[in-house]
Amino acid sequence: MTTAPHIPAPPPGPGVHPPFPAPPVEGRGRRIGLGFGIGAGVLVLVCGGGVAAVIGIGLSSSGALTERAQVAVESYLGALRDQRYDRAYDLLCEQAQSDESRDDFRRRAGTADPIASWDLGKLNLVTQTLPFEATYAGGTSASLEAYLGQDRQTGAFEVCDIGE
């Protein structure tokens, strides 16, 4: 007679009681809350650091752009004050040079009351203007703005016009 292979008993069915009434929950809520709290803290630190970095970069680049614009306006006004009209014309943006010839610029600049001194303000990035207080050689003063453009090849600021 052949013996039948051993067949395991079927698994216990419904109604079987586990060795404990429910999975342990002791400290589970506290661990989850602590995990979420730590995760939120790390997220605040990372995002806060990123926001601080963006603000820092924005402020430093704004300061650098203002400085570059001030150098351009300073060079232009200095050339006009020193009656170096060809140099001043070379510092104008392309649009201004195409609107007015070098000879016309020399005539106009030579007859205008020259600006003897100035106090430059901060660059307005939206309008690309640099306000400044000007004192003319005759002693009068005015609040003016330098309208700026950028050289397409170098990205340097160039004066396009001076106005009120």
pLDDT, tens digit, 9 for 90 and up, residues 126-149: 899 999 999 988 889 999 999 999
Mean pLDDT value of segment 152-162: 88
Q: What is the pLDDT of residue 112?
A: 85
CA distances from 30 to 34, 39, 97, 142 (A): 6, 14, 72, 69
Query: How far apart (Å, rounded) are the C-alpha atoms in residues 35 and 87?
Result: 67
Residue 22 lies in a domain: no
Q: Give the CATH number of the domain where residue 61 resides.
A: 3.10.450.50
* In a domain? residue 150: yes
User: What is residue 147's predicted lDDT score, i.e. its pLDDT?
Assistant: 94
For the cut 90, the answer to whether the pLDDT of residue 50 exceeds it is no
Residue 8 resides in a domain? no
- Tell me the helices (H) and strands (E) count for the chain, helix number first: 4, 4
Give the number of domains in the chain. 1
Check if the beta carbon of residue 83 is closer than 8 Å to that of residue 110.
Answer: yes
Contact yes or no for 130/70 (Cβ under 8 A): yes
Q: Of 16-25, 37-46, 112-121, give the range with the top mean pLDDT.
A: 112-121
Residue 134 resides in a domain: yes
Residue 125's domain comprises 50-163
The pTM of this model reads 0.63
37 falls within a domain:
no
CA dihedral 74, 75, 81, 86 (to 10 degrees): -150
Which parts of the chain fold into alpha helices (H)?
Answer: 28-81, 85-90, 94-99, 102-111
Identify the pLDDT of residue 163: 85
Cβ contact 132:91 at 8 Å: no
pLDDT given at position 110: 86
Calculate the average pLDDT of the chain.
83
Residue 76 CA to residue 146 CA, distance in Å, equals 10
Q: What is the pLDDT of residue 10?
A: 65
Distance of CA 104 to the CA centre of its chain: 38
CA 124 centroid distance within chain: 13
pLDDT of residue 113: 85
Whether the Cβ atoms of residue 132 and residue 146 lie closer than 8 Å to each other: yes
